[in-house]
Structure 1
Amino acid sequence: MPVSPIDPTAPPGLAEAPHYHGHRERLRERFRSVGADALSDYELLEMVLFRALPRRDVKPLAKSLITKFGSFAETVHAPDTRLREVGGLGEAAITEIKLIAAATSRVAKGQLKQRTALSSWATVIDYCRTAMAFADKEQFRILFLDKRNQLISDEVQQVGTVDHTPVYPREVVKRALELSATAIIMVHNHPSGDPTPSQADVQMTKAVIDVAAPLGIAVHDHIIVGKHGHSSLKGLKLI
């Protein structure tokens, strides 16, 4: 007959494994057999928490995280400070959660580096949204490109408040010259979730173009990302 798994930490007389051990194995088996798409957001988050919290039923914790932040993506990209507000979530679990965010960003960046930016626009958008869409403060990022429109460098130039990031056109162009970049794509996020460009966004972009153009540096686009999508100033014919 099959032998029940044993929990070595259980007191004498209570050596049978807790009920959630069977649940964990069933969840792993579903993941292995039918893939991540068959799991809900909270179930996928449970699997992230398994290693950090081996002796707890993590389903209630995973559900509370999804309720608080809204989705799996928003949870893994949530700031550490907000994750620490959740009862029962220690540093080991937070590290596991942030590891997922770091891994997705690294994979997306690797895919971008392998392609010519202008011929794989969907990859550019995916990377920008992965890197920035769920940040709680505005970030201004620049993708520096060579003459073949391949990525030289990807840098966050400024981090601002929840609704403003200072951008200095001459500093943007100075950095492009330092990297011998011949083109740039500017990106920033709207923590509100709405990627609609403001008048200030348009004016700042035009100011960068005015400084960059005489020096032979093209501004291919300014992309704004948010939780609910993205917008392109070039696509909207604003530049």
Structure 2
Amino acid sequence: MEKQETEWFTSWFDTPYYHILYKDRDDTEAHAFMDTLSDYLNMPEGGKILDLACGKGRHSVYLNKIGYNVTGVDLSENSINYAKQFENDTLKFEVHDMCNPYPETFDGVFNLFTSFGYFDDEADNLRTIKAIKADLNDYGFGVIDFMNSDFVIDNLVPEEVKTVDGIDFYLKRYVEDGYIIKDIAFNTDGKDFKYQERVRGFTLANFEALFEQADVHLLDVFGDYKLGQFRKAFSERLVMIFK
């Protein structure tokens, strides 16, 4: 495959194969998390939420269903074009780079399911935190739902084959230069494909440093979608609430 001149996520996320590989994501768990999170934040009825890096909109659609005015944004044009079928008077989707502030403010800005840490340029991580801060109104909360990198690295499965819709995805995982990397190879319709996911293995301490630089105040840290206690060695998630 020819070397991609653009950042990896602008090509991989735009393919149908990305969505095939991850089609088994647990919507029931995601919906329960949104219920728990919105209740915990005491979001106002009809409140405005920005779903940052929304993908095909699964969180946005549910948040809208339970009563919120939601804007979903993502860099992937294909994902946004798909999500637009769900639009209504209180739900809209747009292509937007999360490094830049959105031209509105919100009661909540949610960055969910490890949709952070992709950038090759370290400065873009700080720019994104600053953009989230700019997107919040005076009473708004920012939420980043990230993997617990310490737990992920300790429990990394180096190689596996995952078969979905008749496609054998060969997955290889490793850590390199501070990134948690997944190489993805498969053959379909007689063609070989190779992609790679690279996510910076940010720890809580790394986020705390970014928040301090962005003049953002970390309020709460949780370790799962039920908002249980964060434990560095055991928690699968790192859910941070800030303003």
State if a TM-score over 0.5 links the two structures. Answer: no
Which structure exhibits the higher relative contact order, with contacts defined as CA atoms closer than 8 Å and separated by 6 or more residues?
A: 2
Q: Which has the higher strand share?
A: 2
Tell me the TM-score normalized by structure 1.
0.30
